[in-house]
Structure 1
Amino acid sequence: MGSGKRFGVLNCAEDSDYVKKKYGGYFGVFVGMLAEEGEDWRVFRVAFDEFPDENEIGNYDGFVITGSCNDAHGNEPWIRRLLTLLAKLDSMKIKVLGICFGHQILGRAVGGKTGRAKSGWDIGLRTIQLSSSTSSLFNSLQIPNMLSVVEVHQDEVWELPSTAEVLAWSNKTGIEMFRYGDHIMGIQGHPEYTNDILLHLIDRLLLNNKITESYAQELKNGVNGRDEPPNREAWKKLCTGFLKGRL
């Protein structure tokens, strides 16, 4: 018997042809990591103004917010509408998991501040340190207190309100993870990414003159010859544990 649970992916990115062809878009990437038998998963392309019906959001057990090329501190109409939706989900205590841009927009939604990372781009594999309280929180999942994760971001959460808890940090980013109550959690890195998605994004950033050719080659050298990013199963347990109330 399936759980019958219902989840929505708020897709804030424009799917590249590569990701659409190989994974069915970023929706397919997240479903591949998080979905379990019997669940109903839907995608809403919020960056294209496709939002869930306000009268139906109470029928969902949780939502996942994806990464994006847009700035979480921006004020495009769809971002303003997303902030309104997040305020509604917060008031209803519906689970929301934010990844990268999703992490940043959640930080903004709960009263924090976001902006350009003071240390510049962070791209590649990075080790994050979980707080002692986080280790206790995820104790039942047997999650290690240090985790590796793929990072691709030039923005970050600068600060959070006192009502939010920082769960993890790294030597590059002060707020790698946070939670707000029991229903909101943000992760700056990309636990859903594979090596090939990372290599594809490096090529896209280079093509769009976001990074230099020498930096792109340095990043590729760090990825090539490496197995898939470590700790993928730990991240899967952590994300599904939060989203599905198993903590």
Structure 2
Amino acid sequence: MNVERERRYALLLAAKDSEYVKKMYGGYFNVFVAAFGEEGEKWDLFMVVDGEFPEMTELQRYDGFVVSGSPYDAYGNDHWITELCSLLQKLDCMEKKILGICFGHQVLCKALGGKVGKACTGWDIGLRKVKIVKDLSAFNFLDGGDEIPASLSIIECHQDEVWEVPMGAQVLGFSDKTAVEMFTIGGHVLGIQGHPEYTNDILSNLIDRLLNNNSIERDIAVDARFGLQKAEPNRLCWEKICRNFLKG
């Protein structure tokens, strides 16, 4: 009798837990597993922001890796960012599934030969419509019969962006603010600039913190909150894309 092996995934967390997320969700790890995980899987947490990485001898045991967002710049030279880039290059060579979110999307791009930097249009915070430019069914990101709308709303919170994708990458989505909202390489790499895992309340708390430490102007915060009141992100659709990518 064939017993199916337990699927195993690793979250490479590039940010510390905020007090709000700890209190409401028990930490970002729980937020990601709730969004992308399924029953019967094992998820491990590695605080890469604190220099905690999986052992090279353990990489083969994982079915996929998720790289989170971060307050740090993907183009920075912090030791842990350099180490993360080396790990991502190794995983790419192994053709392991890698999903990069926000900072993860940018650092994945940088590690694999693309270019990232400050967005010339400044902060992008709030709800943003991403225009889908490729047939996603060709990438096995969808269950049979599902259709993706021509545009999908997603929560954004970033001031950096991908300037140039790595060689061989395909851009899957863009917005009126950001030229590369989503890209893929070879079916095993997927980068998403927005936050499929974020809920409106997580972003609202983040806006408060950015405002309180003078990282953003008040009018940016007001506009972002107004956008969230008017519409909802297509969270279920984004989560399905991410889950199908990781498990396809």
- The residue type paired with residue 112 of structure 1 is G
Contact persistence 2:130–2:154 (CA under 8 A): yes
Structure-1 residue corresponding to 2:130:
128
Structure-1 residue corresponding to 2:154:
149
Deviation track 1:44-85 (CA, whole Å, cap 9, x = no partner) reads: 000000111111011000010000000000010000000011
Of residues 219, 228, 237 in structure 2, which corresponds to 1:223?
228
Bigger shift: residues 160-169 or 236-245: 160-169
Of residues 105, 108, 113 in structure 2, which corresponds to 1:106?
108
Bigger shift: residues 144-153 or 95-104: 144-153
Q: Displacement, 1:135?
A: 5.5
Contact persistence 1:124–1:222 (CA under 8 A): yes
Contact persistence 2:106–2:193 (CA under 8 A): yes
- The residue type paired with residue 16 of structure 1 is S
| CA distance in 2: counterparts of 1:183 and 1:135, whole angstroms | 15
Structure-1 residue corresponding to 2:240:
237
- The residue type paired with residue 237 of structure 1 is K
Runs of at least 4 residues off by over 4 Å:
none
The percent of aligned pairs where both chains have the same amino acid is 54
CA 1:50/1:220 → structure 2, altered by over 3 Å: closer, same or farther?
same
Q: Displacement, 1:218?
A: 3.0
Structure 1: gaps (5+ residues): none
Q: Displacement, 1:223?
A: 2.4
Note the aligned Cα RMSD (angstroms). 1.6
Deviation track 1:130-159 (CA, whole Å, cap 9, x = no partner) reads: 113336434634222210000100000000
CA 1:48/1:216 → structure 2, altered by over 3 Å: closer, same or farther?
same
Contact persistence 1:3–1:38 (CA under 8 A): no
- The residue type paired with residue 164 of structure 1 is A
Structure 2: gaps (5+ residues): none
Structure-2 residue corresponding to 1:160:
165
Bigger shift: residues 215-224 or 141-150: 215-224
Contact persistence 2:132–2:150 (CA under 8 A): yes
Deviation track 1:70-106 (CA, whole Å, cap 9, x = no partner) reads: 0000010000000011011011111000000000001
Structure 2 length-normalised TM = 0.93
Structure 1 length-normalised TM = 0.94
| CA distance in 2: counterparts of 1:197 and 1:172, whole angstroms | 22
- The residue type paired with residue 5 of structure 1 is R
- Aligned residue-pair number: 243
Bigger shift: residues 213-222 or 55-64: 213-222
